[in-house]
Chain A
Amino acid sequence: MSEWFDGIKAQFILNFVEKSRWRYLLTGLFNTLKITFFAVLIGIALGTVIAIVRSTADRNLNAMRHGPGRTILSFFDKICRLYLTVVRGTPVVIQLMIFYYVIFASSRNSVLIAIISFGLNSAAYVAEVVRGGIMSVDIGQTEAGRSLGFNYVQTMWLIVVPQALKNVLPALANEFIVLLKETSVAGYVAIKDLTKGGDIIRGATYSPFMPLIAVALIYLVLVVFFSWLVGKLERRLRNSDH
C-alpha cells in the first residue's frame, strides 16, 4: 500500500512539480478560458442576428408584398441558411485549420484566430437555439409591440428577443459547455490550451496517466462550476419576472 502511494507521489512530482511543469496547465487553462469566453460572445451576438433574420423570413416571407424589402430579406435568409449548412456540416477542427492555414495564413496570433473560428462555429448552433426561442414567444407580443408603433426591429429588440433569450438560457449554457470542451482541439494549430498543456507534460515525462487525469479533472470542475453559475442566474431571472 505504502509502495503504491509512493509511486503515485513520485508520478505527481515528476509530472507537475519538477521543472514547474504545472505552469503548462495553468497557461493552458488561461488560454482555454480566454478562447471560450470571447468565442461565446461572438457566438451569441452573431447567432442572435442570424436567428432574427431566419425567424423573420420564416414568419413573413410568404405574406410579404413583392418589393425591395422582400428581396433583401430573402437574400439575407439564403446567406444565413448557407452559413448554417456549411458550418454545421463540417468539423470544427477543419474550420479551425482553414482559418489558421488558409484565411489568416499571414497572421500568427493563433489565439485570436481560434476565438474567431470557434465564435463563428458557435454562432451557427446558437442561431438555431435562439430561433427556436423567438418562435416560442407568442405572436401576440409582436402584435402588441407593433400596435404601439414600434417598427419590426424595435419590437424584436425590446420585446421578443429578451424573452426568447431567457427561454433558451439553459440551451445556451449547454452550448457554452460544449464549446469549452470543443476548444480542446485548439492544439491542432499550435495553441497552448489546456489539452495541449497536458500533452506537453506527457511528451516530456512519458507518463500519460497523471497529465490526462489532471486535464480531465480541470475540465470537469469548470463545467460543474459554470453549470452551477447558470443555475443561479436562471433562478434570479425567474424571481425577477415570474
Chain B
Amino acid sequence: MTTNVLIKVTGLEKHFGKGENAVRALRGVDAEITQGEKLVVIGPSGSGKSTFLRCLNRLEEPTGGQIIFDGVDITSPSCDINHVRRRMGMVFQQFNLFPHKTVLQNITLAPVKHKLMTREQANARAMELLNRVGLVEKAAAYPSQLSGGQKQRIAIVRALAMNPEVMLFDEPTSALDPEMVGEVLQVMKDLAREGMTMVVVTHEMGFAREVSDRVMFMDEGRIVEQGTPGDIFVNPQNKRTQDFLSKLL
C-alpha cells in the first residue's frame, strides 16, 4: 500500500487571531497522502477539517508546522506558492465561478493566462471535459444561468483543466439542493475511478464509504481517529467518533 507520498503534513498548526483570544483551529496535525489516494475528512463543524484542507494549498497561511508537496516544502517563505497551486485543483462549497465570464472562459482562463496551453488547445480540452460531465451545451452560458449542481460540475471542470495532481474538495455538496447532490457526487466518483488523488471534506457519508480509501475524523483541531471506511463506520474506536457518527446515521 505504501507507495509515493504526495503530500506530507507534520505538526500543522493554525491559529486565528493573536494572544490569549486566539482560536486554535489546528493543533498539531500530522498526515500523509499518497499518490492516487482518496482521503475523506469528516468531523463536526468547527473541528478544523476545512482549515486543514485550505492549509494544503495555503489559502490559509499555517501558523506552524510543515507541508511537503511532491518533495517541496510549500510552507517555506522561498516557495513560489502560485506555481504549486497550479498543480492542485480546488473546489469550493460556494462554487466561486466567475460571474462575469462564460463557462468556457471560466475553464480556459487559467491554462491560457499561465501559458500552459494555447487558446485553441484550452478550448478543445474544456469541451472534452464539459462532455465528460454532460454540460457541453452550457459552454457559452453565464454562471447565473446554471443550477447549483451544474455550477459545481463546472467548478470541478475548471480545476481539472489545469491537469492537477491532486484535487481538494471543500464540502462540495453542502450548498446544493438535495436533488442536485447526486450529479456532483457522480462526477467525483468518476474522477476517483480514474485514479485522481483526492482530499474531500464532506458530510456525505455514503460517498465516504463508497469511494474513499481512508476516512479521517477530526475534532477540536486534531485527528481523532482514521482508518478504512470499514473501520471508521462499522467499528469506530474513539468515543467522539462514535458520538458523531451516531448523530449522523
Chain A interface residues (CB < 8 Å from chain B): 63, 65, 67, 138, 140-141, 143-151, 154, 158-159, 162-163, 166, 240-242
A241 contacts B82, C-beta separation under 8 Å: no
* Minimal Cβ-Cβ distance residue in A for B57: A147
* Minimal Cβ-Cβ distance residue in A for B109: A158
A140 contacts B59, C-beta separation under 8 Å: no
Bound-state Cα–Cα, A147 to B169, Å? 12
Q: Mark B57-85, 1 if CB is under 8 A from A, else 0.
A: 10101000000000000000100001101
Q: A147-B59, A149-B114, A166-B100 are in contact. List 11 more A-B contacts (CB 8 A).
A: A65-B61, A65-B77, A138-B94, A141-B96, A145-B98, A147-B57, A147-B85, A147-B90, A149-B82, A149-B110, A150-B82
Bound-state Cα–Cα, A65 to B159, Å? 28
How many interface contacts (CB-CB < 8 Å) are there between A and B?
Answer: 67
- Given A143-B92, A241-B142: A148 and B61 within 8 A (CB)? no
Q: How far is the CB of B200 from chain A (nearest CB, A)?
A: 15
Bound-state Cα–Cα, A50 to B92, Å? 30
One of A144, A162, A241 near B96 (C-beta < 8 A): A144
Q: How far is the CB of B20 from chain A (nearest CB, A)?
A: 17
Bound-state Cα–Cα, A128 to B13, Å? 37
Show 27 residue pairs from A and B whose CB-CB distance is below 8 angstroms, ordered by the A residue: A65-B61, A138-B94, A140-B92, A143-B96, A144-B96, A144-B97, A145-B98, A146-B59, A146-B82, A146-B85, A147-B59, A147-B159, A148-B85, A148-B109, A148-B110, A148-B162, A149-B86, A149-B114, A150-B110, A159-B98, A163-B99, A166-B100, A241-B99, A241-B100, A241-B101, A241-B144, A242-B145
* For the complex of A and B, 9 pairs with smallest distance between CB atoms: A149-B86, A144-B96, A147-B90, A242-B144, A148-B110, A140-B96, A149-B85, A241-B142, A149-B82
B100 contacts A140, C-beta separation under 8 Å: no
Q: Does B158 contact A (CB under 8 A)?
A: yes
Determine the chain A residues whose CB is within 8 A of the CB of B77 once the complex forms.
65, 67
Q: Does B113 contact A (CB under 8 A)?
A: yes
B94 contacts A140, C-beta separation under 8 Å: yes
Determine the chain A residues whose CB is within 8 A of the CB of B109 once the complex forms.
148, 158
Bound-state Cα–Cα, A150 to B145, Å? 26
- Given A147-B59, A148-B85, A242-B142: A163 and B96 within 8 A (CB)? no
Q: How far is the CB of A192 from chain B (nearest CB, A)?
A: 42
- The total of chain B residues at the interface (CB under 8 A) is 29
Q: How far is the CB of A133 from chain B (nearest CB, A)?
A: 13
Q: How far is the CB of B65 from chain A (nearest CB, A)?
A: 15
- Given A65-B77, A143-B59: A150 and B113 within 8 A (CB)? yes
Bound-state Cα–Cα, A51 to B242, Å? 51
B100 contacts A148, C-beta separation under 8 Å: no
A154 contacts B113, C-beta separation under 8 Å: yes
Bound-state Cα–Cα, A108 to B77, Å? 53
Determine the chain B residues whose CB is within 8 A of the CB of A67 once the complex forms.
77
- Given A154-B113, A158-B109, A166-B100: A148 and B92 within 8 A (CB)? no
Q: How far is the CB of B25 from chain A (nearest CB, A)?
A: 14
* Minimal Cβ-Cβ distance residue in B for A155: B82
B162 contacts A149, C-beta separation under 8 Å: yes
Q: Mark B180-216, 1 if CB is under 8 A from A, else 0.
A: 0000000000000000000000000000000000000
Bound-state Cα–Cα, A166 to B100, Å? 9
* Minimal Cβ-Cβ distance residue in A for B16: A63
Bound-state Cα–Cα, A192 to B83, Å? 56
Determine the chain A residues whose CB is within 8 A of the CB of B114 once the complex forms.
149
Q: How far is the CB of B162 from chain A (nearest CB, A)?
A: 7
B96 contacts A148, C-beta separation under 8 Å: no
Q: How far is the CB of B55 from chain A (nearest CB, A)?
A: 13
